[in-house]
Amino acid sequence: MPPSSLRVVYAFAREMHPKTSDVFIQYGTAGFRTKANLLEHVVYRMGLLAVIRSRVKNGRTIGMMITASHNLEPDNGVKLVDPDGEMLEQSWEEIATRLANVSDNDLESTTAEVIKEVNADMALKASVFIGMDTRYTSPRLAAAAANGVIALKGTPKEFGIVTTPILHFCVKCRNDNTYGTPTEEGYYEKIVGAFKNIRQKLPVSGDYNTTLYVDGANGVGGKKLNIIKKSLDGELDLKLFNLGGNGGKLNLNCGADFVKVSQKPPVGVEHAPFQRVASLDGDADRIIYYFLDDQNVMYLLDGDRIATLLASYITRQLAASGAHTLRLGLVQTAYANGGSTKYITEELKVPVSCVKTGVKHLHHAALAYDVGVYFEANGHGTVVYSDNAKKTIARIAREGEPEQRAAADLLLNFIDMTNETVGDAISDLFLVETVLCARGIAAPHWLASYQDLPCRQLKVTVQDRNAISTTDAERQCTSPEGLQSRINELVTTYKDGRAFVRPSGTEDVVRVYAEADTQLNADKLAAEVAQAVFELAGGVGARPELPA
C-alpha cells in the first residue's frame, strides 16, 4: 500500500476516531476489554489489523466481535477471530496492543511498520466479518470497526447482533465450506438440526423431563433461544427468563458468571424444586447449570460437571461403536475443582491436561487428542474432533455391525451439534440435554456422580495486576517475592486445602481461588490468601476481610 494511502488512514482516524485517552489498554485473554468510552479508537485500529491479518492469511476471512462477554453493561470490548474460528494467534496479541496504544501522530508509521513486519501483501483482497452483542455502545463500536476495515480497502460484512460463538462459526464456515453455511440461519440449521435429529432417536425415559428453565443474562443468548424454541417441535420445552425486558440489565445479578462466582441463583428467574436451570452469560459463550432443592438450597453444575458429563457419554459411545483406536482426553485449568479431576482420572480413566486460564490455551491442548473435551469451571468450553476421528466414526456408521452403526450415527449427530470453534452456550446446552435424555437422569443424579470440594473465588484490586507472575499452568506464583511461600503456609493449615492467584485477563484485578474440606474453611482460606495478595502485591482500596 503506498504511503499516501496510509496518510488517508491516519487522517481519517484523527478526524473520526481519535485517541482521547492515555489509558494503556492490553489485548488480554479475550481481546481488549474496558470501559466502552475508551474503546472507539481501539476498535477502529483493530479494523485495520483485521485487514492486515486477512491479507497475511491470503485473503481468508477474519472475524471481529464487539463484546465484553460477562462484564457489566458499561464495559465493552473487541476481539479478533482467526480463519479457523479460533482466537487470534498469540504472537499477534503484542502487535494488537502496540497498534491500539500508539498516539494518533504515530498511527501512520506504526501501521506501516506492522505491514512490513508481518510481510502483508496489501494488494490482496481482505474480508472481515463483524458481530456485536446487545450493549447500547456496541453499534457505535461496530461502525468504528467497519470504518477501520474500509480504510485499508478491506470488505466488511456486518452480522448485527449475534452471539460470539455464532460469529466464530460463520468465520469458520466462510473459510471451510465443508463445516457449514456462514450465516446465522446456517448455524441454526446445523446445530439445532442435529439436536432434533438425535432426539428423535432417543426416547425420553427415566427421570429426565423435557422442560428447561434458562437465564438469558439479559443478553443476546436468550434472544437467540427465543427464536430457536419455536422450531424445536416439542423436543425441548424452554422457559426463558432475563431476556432484556422490564428494565433488566446485562449480566447484573444474573448470568453464568454471577451464578458461578456468587454461588447464588440469579434474579429474575422463577424456580421450582429440583428443576434444572441453565444460566448463560451476556454473549452466550458460557453456560452454567444449577437447581434448587425443596429447601431453596442451590446446587451448582458448572463447567467441570458439563465436561465430565460429556466425556463420560462420548467414551461410552466410542466403546459401543468399536472405535477403540481413538484417544479421548479432557483439558482443565487450575480453577477445575479437585473433586472433578479425581473423578475423571480414577473413575472415567480419561487422561487430563491442565493449562493456563483462557479458552485459547484449552483449545490448543484439546487438539492433541482425537476427541478433546475442554471446559473452564466458569462454563466456557466445547469438544473438538480430529479429522481422523470424524473419518473413523463415519466409516463405522457405514460399515460396522448394526449396534456399532447405531452408536456411530449418534456420535455423528453429536459432532454436528457441537460448535468446535469456541465455547458456545447454546451448542453446549443442546449437548447436555442430549446426554441427560440419553441417560434418563435428572439434575440431582447428574450432581451425584462425584463430590465437589467446597471452593471460593475472590478479587483483589491492586495497583498493577502485571506485578503477579505465575507458572505451572498458573498454579504457582513466581512474583512478587514471598507471595507463593505465604500461600503454601496458609494452604497447609486447612484439610484438602488448595489455593492459587493469577492476574485477571479481563479486569484490573488479581483473582484468588481456594478449596478446602468445608465451605467455611474455603472462605477463610480465600480471604487469607486475598489479604496476602493485598499486602505483597500493592493492594488498593478496602482491605479484604475475613468471614465472620
Residue 131 assigned as binding residue: no
504 is in an annotated binding site: yes
Does the annotation list 378 as a binding residue? yes
Which candidate in 4, 5, 69, 262 is catalytic?
Answer: 69
- Residue 545 annotated as binding? no
For residue 273, give the DSSP letter.
Answer: T
Distance between the two ends of the chain, CA-based, in angstroms?
64
Residue 500 CA, distance from chain mean position: 21
Task: Identify the sign of the CA torsion 213, 217, 219, 221.
Answer: negative
The answer to whether the annotation marks 54 as part of a ligand binding site is no
Has 286 been labeled as part of a binding site? no
- The three cell numbers of residue 441 are 437422569
CA atoms 351, 354, 357, 362: torsion sign: negative
List 161's β-bridge partners, or say none.
Answer: 132
Three-state secondary structure readout of 394-412 = HHHHHHCCHHHHHHHHHHH
CB atoms near residue 233 (< 10 Å): 9
Q: What is the rounded CA–CA span in Å between residue 11 and residue 482? A: 50
Contact indicator for 406, 414 with CB cutoff of 8 Å: no
Query: What would you report as the CA-atom Rg of the chain, rounded to the nearest whole angstrom?
Result: 23
Q: 540 with 461: CB under 8 angstroms? A: yes
Give the CA diameter of the chain. Answer: 70
470 is in an annotated binding site: no
- Residue 240 is which amino acid? L
Strands 371-375 and 455-460: unpaired
Angle value at C-alpha 23, between 45 and 501, nearest 5 degrees: 105
- The DSSP line for 368-386 is TSSEEEEE-TTS-EEEEE-
Dihedral sign from CA coordinates of 78, 83, 84, 88: negative
416 known member of a binding site:
no
Crossing angle of the two packed helices 220-228 and 425-439, in degrees rounded to 10: 50
Tell me the β-bridge partners of 33.
Answer: 77
Neighbouring C-beta atoms of residue 220, cutoff 10 Å: 28
Dihedral sign from CA coordinates of 77, 83, 85, 88: negative
Q: Is 197 annotated as a binding residue?
A: no
Q: How many CA atoms lie within 13 A of 107 on its CB side?
A: 28
Neighbouring C-alpha atoms within 13 Å toward the C-beta of 248: 24
76 is in an annotated binding site: no
Check whether 106 is labelled as a binding-site residue. Answer: no
Q: What DSSP string runs through 477-493?
A: EEESTTHHHHHHHHHTT
Q: Any catalytic annotation for residue 69? A: yes
Three cell numbers written together for 15 = 478526524
Enumerate the known binding-site residues for substrate. 376-378, 502-506, 511
| Catalytic residue annotation | 69
Enumerate the known binding-site residues. 69, 281, 283, 285, 376-378, 502-506, 511
Enumerate the known binding-site residues for Mg(2+). 69, 281, 283, 285
